[in-house]
């Protein structure tokens, strides 16, 4: 499995403050970014996997919504997470 409990806890600890803080916008964005990169690599090998392609598009939309929320709520946190994860605007 590509996303173990330890990996998830590490992502939330690094970006969400604590490993238990799974609801923070930064933690969720970091987790979505990790999943998006994994699905992108999968789609490079499997061009005709349309279900995965749909899942990827939905994940990108969810991440975009969270980024928009964070931008509206606190612009400095938004800029930090964009810079940290190397996300295009």
User: What is the CATH number for 25?
Assistant: 1.10.287.10
If pLDDT is split at 50, 70 and 90, which confidence band does 79 have?
A: very high
Q: What is the pLDDT of residue 88?
A: 86
Q: Are 11 and 21 in contact (CB under 8 A)?
A: no
Provide the whole-model pTM. 0.91
| Dihedral sign of CA atoms 56, 58, 60, 66 in order | negative
Residue 55, domain extent: 5-85
Model pLDDT for residues 14-72, shown as the tens digit of each residue? 998 888 888 899 999 999 999 999 999 999 999 999 999 999 999 999 999 999 999 99
Instruction: Take residue 83 and report the two structure tokens written for it.
Output: 């810079």
- Report the pLDDT value the prediction gives residue 37, as an integer from 0 to 100: 95
**What is the predicted pLDDT for the residue at 16?**
82
Specify the pLDDT at position 62. Answer: 97
For the chain, what is the domain count?
1
CA distances (Å), 78 to each of 4, 55, 73, in order?
27, 24, 9
């Amino acid at each position: 499995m590509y996303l173990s409990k330890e990996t998830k806890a590490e992502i939330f600890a690094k970006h969400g403050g604590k490993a238990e803080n799974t609801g923070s916008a930064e933690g969720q964005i970091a987790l979505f970014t990790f999943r998006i990169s994994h699905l992108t690599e999968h789609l490079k090998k499997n061009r005709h996997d349309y279900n995965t392609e749909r899942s990827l598009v939905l994940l990108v939309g969810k991440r975009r919504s969270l980024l928009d929320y964070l931008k509206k709520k606190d612009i400095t946190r938004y800029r930090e997470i964009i810079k940290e994860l190397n996300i295009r605007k």
